[in-house]
Amino acid sequence: MRKMKKKDSETILTVKEHIIIKNFWEYYITNEETNDPDTKFALVMGFETELGYVYLPEIQPYIVSKTKKLNDVMPAPGWEWLD
């Protein structure tokens, strides 16, 4: 896990996984707990960059990259790793 901070803000996310799907949308999955194990809170970079809940079975068929090795992943644009 790595902490990612939004530049010029106090918003900090603890990211535990990074996913890219076929249309190159990126999902920075956080460690925030949800009531459904298939639903995760994430920073999503698509048409817009936004925070929200993602239903993983919906994107599963489109995943082209999935990793928990975040040292090899760039932070989201406008964000920076704290470590």
pLDDT tens, 28-80?
A: 999 998 999 999 999 999 999 999 999 999 999 999 999 999 999 999 999 99
Looking at the domain assignment, is residue 46 inside a domain? yes
Looking at the domain assignment, is residue 32 inside a domain? yes
pLDDT, tens digit (0-9, with 9 covering 90-100), for 21-32: 999 999 999 999
pTM: 0.94
* Domain interval for residue 50: 2-65
Looking at the domain assignment, is residue 76 inside a domain? no
The whole-angstrom separation of Cα 49 and Cα 19 is 14
Domain total of the chain: 1
The whole-angstrom separation of Cα 14 and Cα 28 is 9
